[in-house]
Amino acid sequence: MAEPLHPWLSQFLQQIDSSSLAPASSLQQGLSDSELYRLWHSQLSSRLLDLQSRLLQAKGQSFYTIGSAGHEGNAAVAAALRLTDPAFLHYRSGAFFIERSKQLPGSTALYDMLLSFCASSDDPISGGRHKVLGSLALNIPPQTSTIASQIPKAVGAAFAIDLSKRLGQSGNWPHDAIVMCSFGDASANHSTAQGAINAACWAAYQHVPIPMLFVCEDNGLGISTPTPQGWIEQSLADRPELRYFAADGRDLAQTYAVARKAAHYVRTKRRPALLHLSTVRLFGHAGADTETAYRSKNLINAELELDPILASTASMLARGILSRPQLYSVVSELASQISRVANVASSRPKLQTAAEVMAAIAPVRPALPAPPLPPAAIRSALFEFDKHNLGKPQHLAKLLNWTLHDLFSQYSNTVLFGEDVAKKGGVYGVSQHLIQAFGGNRVINTLLDEQSILGMAIGLAQQGFLPIAEIQFLAYVHNAEDQIRGEAATLPFFSNGQYHNAMVIRIAGLAYQRGFGGHFHNDNSFAVFRDIPGIIVLCPSNGADAALLLRQAVQLAYEQKRLVIFLEPIALYMTRDLLAPGDGRWLTDYPLPDSPIPALGQPAVFNQVPDQEPAVTPQLTIISYGNGYYLSRQAAAELEHAGYSLRLLDLRCLVPLHIDAIVAALADCSQVLIVDECRRRGSLSEELFTALHEARPGYYQLSRITAEDSFIPLGAAAYAVLPSKQQIIEKVQQLLNKETAK
């Protein structure tokens, strides 16, 4: 039995058959017959796919019906661009995707898109994980339900293309490519969009090449909220350094001509432009949207008359490209073809197991040898600026600085960027002298906008760089965390591992910083990172580990294409002493670049036992990290004099926790105290407590010390809500004295 036609298609076929199509307002002058036919075919294919998806949804075979109906004029934008121009697409860009696929012989866009609609594991982009418009071969990184969140990384990619030319890096996209990013009129009001557009203009104002074509597809609605008429033009047309173009998305010829002009401007001037494309939204926001709840039927029906496909079809007839019978035949055959393809796509396999779903979160990639270390003479010249300190123990900040110099010399595709990282060398001097050694194209001051910094990291990564982004303080990342959570971390998942966002994000954070109050400068919460699948969080407590772990972070990004958060404890940056002023016991020697790197997740082990009992089995193990480990070392030194024997574990890798390695380091010690400088609720200690109990049920006697569930106040009051050395001493004594009394 034949599948019933969607009402729109039935009416459309009747209009063709009964000569009831409205006359074309334009004959699409400027397009040849073959160009008009090709674009019309892409428009119609997109519309029929949308309709087919709704029919499939009714049968439980399609799961996401937000479509492109009314926006199909974006096919002309695709035709105005090159296959090698990366496109970060709005979710109503089905016609763009189909038209671009025609630039690559052998593409099977209809089948591929239907596989995605049906969540089949055969879907060539996401492997059945989401309905996305994306293709590695078509240079369309996949986006999901973007609410402007793709715009910062698109700007980052535009910056990266010309940066790769300046630095002689080949990149994934050619040096003359431009970046296209489309979004809706409602999304244009989002702070993410405003910040990203501002960042592009800010850079262009300083003559930094930003070959970025923004395309705002303006249908006048944000789900049910109207966009004020004229608002997009009023708010975006007069932006400094942003060239404004406008076109009617119902007119393919006009859209194509204006898009070509806009693309030519961006490509030749290497400056940003905005194409304001007037569109109409048909059939509601999505399949579940009851449009009559907030719009009158008269208005809905009136907008159906503005359907861009009706306008294109009328032009086809008026120009005699096809007769009505021929048009009827082409539309009917295309609808039948899509129905047949849908039947095949809906029968293809689906993801079945958790392992299949999760395989793309952090796929294991083949080993990749690191670039060779530079010759000794080059290293010697590189460190000339600090030669008086070489060979002497140093604090954490100094050794991070030296490590960055070595890494930049070894990995030619590394770029460091953030607020104040260049001549100032960062707030704490960690990046000092890098710009003098490697230049302003590799050490870059950014504007004060964390969304743009992280978007820049994503764009750089997709162009083949190894970005090292700096977030000035931990609390600042919360302004932009979705660039990590919703964009960077999800890209391998939604592209089945084909795309990646390999990067290192350095963040100065945690508490105990003297003279500053929270929550911005003494922030002891990194819980947001613990909830994101696939990312790694490393945290050193001392200079030697800082050097080794930062090398490990870069190695993971370079070889395994991982996203690594490198959390740097501010209070320990300049710390020199451990037990008494001037003892220098927290300074460490610099591990040379060829020093072995510890296995990921392997905790550092330190045994504090009485001098007269060097072989004694520790009575208790303290597990900590960062400032908590530093305080635990202080406490352990005092407890040693009282005859207590302790083992201390410095976790170093906080996400994911490698419980097997932690259990192995604990050996047979069953008494465990977790010292966590973060808050009681939502801190790492909760996960450790649970994981250790699950690893050896009933074996460990677990206790914990944490910060209070409080923000950090100013001055000495800060220490009232944070763990202290004295708390650790008293807790250990309480636990071990209780054990002795049994």
Q: Mind listing the pLDDT tens digit for each residue in 372-422?
A: 999 999 999 999 999 999 999 999 999 999 999 999 999 999 999 999 999
| Mean pLDDT, residues 354-369 | 93
Question: Which backbone phi and psi does 505 adopt, to 5 degrees?
Answer: -110, 105
**Domain annotation covers residue 598:** no
**Token representation of residue 243:** 């060239």
Q: Are residues 549 and 663 in the same domain?
A: no
**Averaged pLDDT of the chain:** 93
Max intra-chain CA distance, the chain: 103
Of the candidates 58, 75, 16, 155, the one whose C-alpha atom is nearest the C-alpha of residue 458 is 155
Residue-wise pLDDT for 169-212, tens only, equals 999 999 999 999 999 999 999 999 999 999 999 999 999 999 99
Q: What is the CATH number of the domain that holds 734?
A: 3.40.50.920
Mean pLDDT lowest among 59-63, 329-333, 448-452: 59-63
Q: Are residues 207 and 72 in the same domain?
A: yes
CA dist 184 and 551 (Å) reads: 41
In this structure, which amino acid lies at residue 20? S
CA dist 568 and 591 (Å) reads: 18
| Mean pLDDT, residues 615-636 | 93
Q: Are residues 136 and 253 in the same domain?
A: yes
**Token representation of residue 378:** 């080059």
The SS3 call for residue 417 is strand
Residue 650: enclosing H or E segment and its boundaries? strand 646-650
Q: Are 464 and 170 in contact (CB under 8 A)?
A: yes
Residue-wise pLDDT for 490-543, tens only, equals 999 999 999 999 999 999 999 998 876 666 788 888 999 999 999 999 999 999
| Mean pLDDT, residues 611-636 | 87
**Domain annotation covers residue 634:** yes
DSSP string covering 189-207: GSHHHHHHHHHHHHHHHTT
Q: What is the CATH number of the domain that holds 381?
A: 3.40.50.970
Q: Are residues 666 and 526 in the same domain?
A: no
CA dist 216 and 279 (Å) reads: 10
**Burial tier of 701 (Cβ tally within 10 Å: 0-12, 13-18, 19+):** middle
pLDDT of residue 160: 98
Q: Are residues 558 and 688 in the same domain?
A: no
CA dist 39 and 126 (Å) reads: 26
Of the candidates 88, 151, 207, the one whose C-alpha atom is nearest the C-alpha of residue 449 is 151
Residue-wise pLDDT for 248-291, tens only, equals 999 999 999 999 999 999 999 999 999 999 999 888 888 777 88
Higher pLDDT: 611 or 464? It is: 464
**Token representation of residue 44:** 């119609």
Q: Which residues contact 668 (CB under 8 A, 6 or more apart)?
A: 617
Residue 725: enclosing H or E segment and its boundaries? helix 725-741
Determine the distance from the C-alpha atom of residue 664 to the mean position of all C-alpha atoms in its chain, rounded to a whole number.
34
Q: Are 210 and 204 in contact (CB under 8 A)?
A: yes
Radius of gyration for the alpha carbons in the chain, expressed in angstroms and rounded: 30
Helix, strand, coil percentages in the chain from 3-state DSSP, rounded to 5: 40, 15, 45
pLDDT of residue 173: 97
Q: Are residues 210 and 83 in the same domain?
A: yes
Q: Are 702 and 549 in contact (CB under 8 A)?
A: no
Q: Are residues 619 and 545 in the same domain?
A: no
**Token representation of residue 695:** 């690893």
Last residue of a domain, one of 572, 594, 624: 572
- Which strands, in side-by-side order, build the sheet including 536-538? 443-445, 414-418, 466-471, 503-509, 563-569, 536-538, 653-655
pLDDT of residue 1: 41
**Domain annotation covers residue 471:** yes
In this structure, which amino acid lies at residue 619? Q
pLDDT of residue 615: 60
Q: Are 101 and 49 in contact (CB under 8 A)?
A: no
**Domain annotation covers residue 583:** no
Q: Are 597 and 555 in contact (CB under 8 A)?
A: yes
CA dist 679 and 559 (Å) reads: 34
The SS3 call for residue 568 is strand
**Domain annotation covers residue 363:** no
Position 726 pLDDT exceeds 90: yes
User: Which DSSP state fits 718?
Assistant: G
Question: Which residue's structure tokens are 């000092």?
Answer: 432
Mean pLDDT lowest among 231-245, 246-260, 293-307: 293-307
CA distances from 357 to 64, 143, 361, 495, 655 (A): 18, 18, 8, 12, 20
User: Which DSSP state fits 704?
Assistant: E
**Token representation of residue 711:** 């923000």
Q: Are residues 555 and 608 in the same domain?
A: no
Q: Are residues 453 and 515 in the same domain?
A: yes
**Domain annotation covers residue 721:** yes
**Domain annotation covers residue 64:** yes
Question: Which backbone phi and psi does 183 adopt, to 5 degrees?
Answer: -160, 165
Q: What percent of the chain has pLDDT over 70?
A: 97
Total length of the chain = 742
In this structure, which amino acid lies at residue 177? A
Beta pairing, strands 443-445 & 414-418: parallel
**Phi-psi category of residue 582: left, alpha or beta, with phi > 0 → left and psi -120 to 50 → alpha:** left
CA dist 276 and 213 (Å) reads: 10
Determine the distance from the C-alpha atom of residue 417 to the mean position of all C-alpha atoms in its chain, rounded to a whole number.
16
pLDDT of residue 740: 65
Residue-wise pLDDT for 155-165, tens only, equals 999 999 999 99
**Token representation of residue 271:** 């400056």
CA dist 674 and 657 (Å) reads: 14
Q: Are residues 219 and 295 in the same domain?
A: yes
**Token representation of residue 95:** 């016609």
**Token representation of residue 105:** 């012989």
> End-to-end distance of the chain based on CA atoms, in angstroms?
81
Q: Are 410 and 593 in contact (CB under 8 A)?
A: yes
CA dist 49 and 65 (Å) reads: 10
CA dist 114 and 131 (Å) reads: 9
**Domain annotation covers residue 587:** no
Angle at 635 between CA 521 and CA 597, to 5 degrees: 70
pLDDT of residue 734: 95
Q: Are residues 331 and 385 in the same domain?
A: no
Q: Are residues 343 and 461 in the same domain?
A: no
pLDDT of residue 549: 98
The SS3 call for residue 73 is coil
Residue-wise pLDDT for 301-349, tens only, equals 888 888 999 999 999 999 999 999 999 999 999 999 999 999 999 999 9
Residue-wise pLDDT for 40-53, tens only, equals 999 999 999 999 99
**Structural domain that includes position 451:** 376-572
CA dist 304 and 47 (Å) reads: 13
Q: Are 502 and 466 in contact (CB under 8 A)?
A: yes
pLDDT of residue 2: 56
**Token representation of residue 38:** 């090709």
Determine the distance from the C-alpha atom of residue 489 to the mean position of all C-alpha atoms in its chain, rounded to a whole number.
5
**pTM of this prediction?**
0.95
CA dist 15 and 471 (Å) reads: 58
**Burial tier of 141 (Cβ tally within 10 Å: 0-12, 13-18, 19+):** buried
Last residue of a domain, one of 310, 326, 347: 347
Residue-wise pLDDT for 635-689, tens only, equals 999 999 899 999 999 999 999 999 999 999 999 999 999 999 999 999 999 999 9
Q: Are 567 and 654 in contact (CB under 8 A)?
A: yes
Of the candidates 183, 214, 187, the one whose C-alpha atom is nearest the C-alpha of residue 199 is 214
**Phi-psi category of residue 496: left, alpha or beta, with phi > 0 → left and psi -120 to 50 → alpha:** left
Overall number of domains in the chain: 3
Question: Which residue's structure tokens are 């743009």?
Answer: 452
Of the candidates 491, 494, 533, the one whose C-alpha atom is nearest the C-alpha of residue 129 is 494
Angle at 440 between CA 240 and CA 438, to 5 degrees: 165
CA dist 77 and 275 (Å) reads: 9
CA dist 294 and 279 (Å) reads: 19
